Amino acid sequence: MTLPVSGALKDVGTGHGARDRMATRGPLRVPSHATALERIHTVVVEEHEDIARVVASRIAALIEEKRATGQTAVLGLATGSTPIGVYRELIRMHRDDGLSFSNVVTFNLDEYYPMAPDAIHSYHRFMWENLFTHVDIAPGNVHIPRGDVPREEVDDECQRYEAAIVDAGGIDFQILGIGKTGHIGFNEPGSGADSRTRLVHLDAVTKRDAAADFFGEEYVPKEAVTMGVATILAAREIALLGTGEHKARIIKRSVEGDINLEIAATFLQRHPKTTFYVDSAAGADLTRVATPWLLDEVEWTDDLKLRAVVWLSLTTGCAILKLTQHDYAEHKMSSLVTRSGSPGAVNGEVFNALGAKIRGKSKLPHGKRTICFSPHPDDDVISMGGILRKFVENGNEMLVAYMTSGNIAVFDHDVRRYVDFLRRLANDQARGRGTVGLLADRVEEFLAAKQPGDVDIPEVADIKRIIRESEAVAGIEVMGLSREHARFLNMPFYQTGQVQKDPIGPADIAIVKALLVEFEPEIIFVAGDLSDPHGTHRMCKEAIDGALTELYGPRGAAGEGAGARTRPEVWLYRGAWQEWSVTDATWLVPMSQEELRLKIQAIFKHQSQKDSAPFPGQDDREFWQRVDARNKDTAHLLDKLGLAEYFAMEAYVVAQE
């Protein structure tokens, strides 16, 4: 396969760290030894947007190649958050570059069963809304498995679908996503290599992943119609797309592990023209990225040295300062000792580098104008409650900017409870009963008829927004701030009323830009947690990056008003879904037992997210339980490495200029 040239592709063979990955771009040049364990050709790109450009370019080239010879391009398409970027890029190419789909035939991977084509969760609807309506494809050339046929006709319909693929000449290019179980399409664990299009039962993990889309696992269909493994492998070319830290483990297993009936993606090892396109987060566990010294000679950068020695300490169960020549030799790291002169020299250098990352309150900024950008109304206290309190105590001028309302994450029963409260208050006070009664009647009438996934009427959406805003204020009050320190941006991209959001647009960037101009922060905190199930964190970061670029130009370059303004430092936080590793982190911020308890109290103020949050992801624990475990685990890890023992700890990465 000839890969498109892209400035987004980079050398990952030497295992640069997170901060280097943010700044470095260039053509992919991975030595063959670096991929010795990889059984599927895998391309690691900087950001998930780069995947969309690379794959869309390949599809466009295929369409034009086929058009030049008077042939039809047959595409196999997938749904979900990962391929949607590809479809948006194809739409742009159609609009701006004249790419025509008049010679394109498509076959989609799957559809829930039972599912009406016009249902809000239907993949039919998804594909028409996100691709087909925006390009010039003939409706008769679109094929999507039917989820609305009677059960007794499903098998015949599946056979007709297979026959239609054959009649079209077979699939030229198949797009795939990958589930946490390694499923492709809906080929769950146990799907055979010879399987064809059929009705399948959905795995429990798959249903849990889909629960947020359906506003509850109980509403997720138990079955789906899917292309089989054999159907997929019959495609002439396959591109599997994977993004986010939560996909790293299954990407490594699929690429480097043995073929296994329980992991359908491993069957792709048998396909001669399959490429995995993954972002740096999803590719982080690949051996060539995580532990490249196990493959061949490496260039021992400071970052790689740090990661390698920490890995060696944890692998051997020996504190850093106690690592010996034997430990290094046994794990293919003798060259590191040779370079530094002795095990003691290496140990001391890494030990000191880790120790220098630790920043207690006295070593944190004082008197700085600071904005904490919180994608949802609870990310601030969940992810950085510890440092937020320390910044307040250090006299920093603080503003917490809540970027979205988070209203879709409020259960309807909470709305009913607040409406009942308003009725009772109005009756007791004998004031405004007519207005309150009309509002309550309209809300209760809508909720009584509401179906899972229905978009809320404005009155309900506003009540949910106000619930989240009041909880956010209560949370920061625990940290020593007040409602005057909260700013609710209500960015337009989020205001669809659905799980799926609009792309970040100029209006979103303008809102962030205006706040930066008004407040002129010296430090901003930004969510770098990219495993958020629906990408809101990622999209909020995109809006902030866009605003920073418009105000100050690309990193290191002068931009609008650069003479009057200083670009703020960007501190990236995680915590809701993942945590920065101690090696990737720039700063490690300790918390005492009392400080962690205060942080958890702030999280408790978000009552609508307590006990059973609408979008918990794959982690059954409440957010406060995740925080308690992650912050303690980070501190415990430093203790295992032989550094000072702390009760709990948060981690931050300072983005490099």
Q: Which residues are marked as active site?
A: 188
Give the Cα separation of 122 and 634 in Å (integer): 42
Kindly tell me the sign of the dihedral angle through the C-alpha atoms of 115, 89, 572, 493: negative
Contacts of 329 (CB under 8 A, 6+ apart): none
Give the Cα separation of 99 and 63 in Å (integer): 8
Contacts of 447 (CB under 8 A, 6+ apart): 412, 415, 416, 460
b/e string for 443-474 if b means 16 or more Cβ within 10 A? beebbeeeeeeeebeebbbebbbebbbbbbbb
Element housing 398 (H / E):
strand 397-402
Contact 45, 9 (CB under 8 A): yes
Amino acid sitting at position 122: S
DSSP label of 369:
E
Contact 618, 209 (CB under 8 A): yes
Give the Cα separation of 531 and 195 in Å (integer): 31
Kindly tell me the sign of the dihedral angle through the C-alpha atoms of 152, 156, 159, 164: negative
**Closest by CA position to 494, among listed 606, 431, 604, 403:** 403
Contact 81, 209 (CB under 8 A): no
Using omega within 30 degrees of 0 as the cis cutoff, is the peptide bond preceding 114 cis? yes
* DSSP string computed for 276-322: EEEETTTTTTSHHHH-GGGTS-----HHHHHHHHHHHHHHHT--GGG
In this structure, what token pair is assigned to residue 135?
């390009």
Give the other-Cβ count within 10 Å of 125's Cβ: 17
- Residue 635 sits at the vertex; the CA angle it makes with 247 and 594, to the nearest 5 degrees, is 120
Amino acid sitting at position 223: E
Kindly tell me the sign of the dihedral angle through the C-alpha atoms of 329, 333, 334, 336: negative
Helix, strand or coil for residue 111? strand
Chain-centroid distance of CA 126 in Å reads 20
Contact 113, 223 (CB under 8 A): yes
Residue corresponding to tokens 């798959």? 206
**Closest by CA position to 226, among listed 142, 126, 116, 123:** 123
Give the other-Cβ count within 10 Å of 372's Cβ: 28
